[in-house]
Amino acid sequence: MTVRILLLEDSSFDAELIGEHLTKAPFPCLIERVVTRDEFADALDSGGFDLILSDYALPAFDGLSALTMAQARVPDTPFIFISGMFGEETATETLKRGATDYVLKQRMHRLPAAVGRALKEAATLRERRLAEERTRLLVAELSHRVKNTLATVVAIAQQTAAKAGDLDSFMPVFMGRIETLSAAHALLFKVHWSEVDIRDILKAALAPFSERRDAVDLNGEPVAIPPGHALTLNLIVHELATNAVKFGALSVPDGTVTVRWRAETTGGRRCVSFSWEEAGGPPVMPPRERGFGSTLIQRAITYEFDGESTLDFRPTGVVCRLCMPIETPPRLH
């Protein structure tokens, strides 16, 4: 890779000498030389330089002013002084002010090594800053997800308590829902909390009902859905399966459930069309009051995801249909 170097040097002879020594570096160098303050400022604004080399003493302009200007405009670009006037105090002062290194013109053979070292240090610093930024974003994202998960747990507890007559009836229902949520979290963790295939989510939701899982036909193409949608769908399917085991198709040996899904585009949005259809079970009657599953479907699908949902208690079995937008179309300007 060619290293682009901005050289602030008023002496043509010294500029040629610097260029000659840089030919000995283990990497090709492209040098752009400037002399005046305005030329230096324009070059900084144009950007794209990997390194700055500067004389310390210049007519009507000095190296420390150039360093200050560079730190303000390109703070991540290493800055090396080249001068024949450095004393120990001056050299120390330049390093304190933020220079990466200095090279005496009497010892120009040090220049290639100094440039290589400065570039390596700059790369290490960039990597560290990127790592710190990634860590900051991960912590913020983790905090957001934990907050959402806790809010979901609270909502589950409140809804479950509202329908339970006592603690004995509350605990198994509540723990089943929490275990389902935990299984979905574990699945998302395996894929680094990215999109997950809907079939894997359905299998995780149906795992607690393994004794009747052979009665459930999963039929659909591979469709990746976002983490938030995956958690919600996991809980919905758990509620549907729980209801089916207690009162519906999965409560009798010959009952079956057919689950279908497909990706489609509706109104310019990519959606997942999902259906749960029970058959062969006892006659179904609509519940007298809305349960946790019905509330979850309406709030999550209709309000949170701006989708569509229906839950029919037909005599032949429960039928649930969902349309979940999983992609918002770009806005036209």
What does the pLDDT average to over 144-166?
Answer: 74
**Domains in the chain and their CATH numbers?**
3-128 (3.40.50.2300), 194-327 (3.30.565.10)
Cα radius of gyration (the chain): 33
Tokens of 7: 């050289």
Q: Lowest-confidence range among 273-282, 298-307, 313-322?
A: 298-307
Per-residue pLDDT at 329: 41
Q: What is the pLDDT of residue 144?
A: 64
Q: Is the pLDDT of residue 330 over 50?
A: no
Convert the pLDDT of each residue in 100-123 to its tens digit.
999 988 889 999 999 999 999 999
Average pLDDT over residues 222-246: 90
Mean of per-residue pLDDT scores for the chain: 86
Structure tokens at 174: 């509540």
3-state secondary structure 127-195: HHHHHHHHHHHHHHHHHHHHHHHHHHHHHHHHHHHHHCCCHHHHHHHHHHHHHHHHHHHHHHHHCCCCC
pLDDT at residue 272, rounded to an integer: 92
The residue that leads in pLDDT, 233 or 331, is 233
Scanning the chain, the segments in alpha helix (DSSP H) are 12-22, 37-46, 63-73, 88-96, 111-163, 167-190, 198-206, 227-246, 292-296
Which percentage of the chain shows pLDDT scores above 90?
Answer: 45
Work out the pLDDT band at 61, boundaries 50, 70, 90: confident
DSSP code, position 38: H
pLDDT at residue 253 tops 80 = yes
Instruction: Report residue 157's pLDDT band, with 50, 70 and 90 as the boundaries.
Output: confident
Residue pair 149/181 in contact (Cβ under 8 Å)? The answer is yes
pLDDT for 327 equals 66
Task: Name the band, by pLDDT with cuts 50, 70 and 90, for residue 20.
Answer: very high
pLDDT band at 148 (very low <50, low <70, confident <90, very high): low
Q: What is the pLDDT of residue 126?
A: 87
Mean pLDDT to the nearest integer, 131-142: 76
Helix axes 111-163, 167-190, angle to 10 degrees: 160
252's tokens: 């009798």
pLDDT for 332 equals: 38
- Residue 188 pLDDT > 90: no
pTM of the model: 0.59
**Which amino acid makes up residue 30?**
L
